[in-house]
A = this chain, B = another copy of it.
């Protein structure tokens, strides 16, 4: 199912997102040794990377694409606990088994490690381990923000908060700023957004249209949102409206 891409020499050194990833802490020689224990793998949209409950034998660093983390309730209801972007790690802060299912939203390129090997590597590279811990505490912070959102925000606050935080995490592509407007790609489906925010796809749709109607955003194509009025979005996100 997964496509192996064989990069010669020292692939990690050439890695596009190294600076934003946990690997940033490593020296050239460290990167060389890291290259020895890593495999690059690709996934097509909707492919499953790992499943909730599985034993954690592999961990992944996201190089390209977006990953969706989900948890299911017995009766089929779904919560998307997060969307993971390049530079983040999958599976490191898990215990013995994965706490959620990870699926590809877009085409995906991941670095795959055997967990025990990476653990051994980290023991010899405390500078990198420190960054792993920092990422983990960032994850916890994000999880708490999400609880606040899910428990105490209205539908419009949820959606505007989401748009803003997604826009902020979107560093790479062109900000395409024509008059303070910012184009943001939303590669995931409306139902993914809904399941992330504790809403239904219909509500997500309705609120997006209402934001278009009042000129706050534009949706030239379903997966592209132009944030026209950041000030107004921020006001909505804080509930001042």
Taking Cβ atoms with an 8 Å cutoff, the residues of A that contact B are 71, 73-75, 77-79, 81, 93-95, 99-100, 134, 136-141, 143-148, 150-153, 195-198, 238-240
Q: Is the CB of B75 within 8 A of A238?
A: yes
Q: A134-B95, A151-B150, A151-B197 are in contact. Are A238 and B140 (CB under 8 A)?
A: no
Instruction: Out of B77, B140, B240, name the residue touching A140 (CB < 8 Å).
Output: B140
Q: Is the CB of B143 within 8 A of A147?
A: yes
Residue of B nearest to A56 (CB): B137
Q: Is the CB of A239 within 8 A of B151?
A: no
Q: A95-B137, A140-B140, A141-B99 are in contact. Are A148 and B75 (CB under 8 A)?
A: no
What residues on B are CB-neighbors of A195 within 8 Å? 151-152
What residues on B are CB-neighbors of A143 within 8 Å? 140, 143-144, 147
What residues on B are CB-neighbors of A73 within 8 Å? 148, 152-153, 238-239
Number of copies: 2
Residue of B nearest to A123 (CB): B126
What residues on B are CB-neighbors of A198 within 8 Å? 150-152
Task: Beyond the given A73-B239, A81-B147, A95-B134, please list 9 additional residue pairs across the A-B interface where CB-CB is below 8 A.
Answer: A73-B238, A74-B238, A77-B153, A93-B136, A95-B137, A136-B136, A143-B147, A147-B150, A150-B198
Q: Is the CB of A79 within 8 A of B134?
A: no
Instruction: Out of B74, B95, B137, B147, name the residue touching A93 (CB < 8 Å).
Output: B137
Instruction: Out of B93, B94, B95, B147, name the residue touching A146 (CB < 8 Å).
Output: B147
Q: How far is the CA of A216 from the CA of B71 in the complex (A)?
A: 28
Residue of B nearest to A100 (CB): B144
What residues on B are CB-neighbors of A151 within 8 Å? 79, 150, 195-198
What would 16 A/B residue contacts be, using CB atoms closer than 8 Å? A71-B144, A71-B145, A73-B148, A74-B238, A77-B153, A78-B152, A81-B147, A93-B137, A93-B140, A94-B141, A99-B141, A136-B136, A139-B140, A140-B140, A150-B150, A151-B196
- Min CB–CB distance A41 → chain B (angstroms): 23
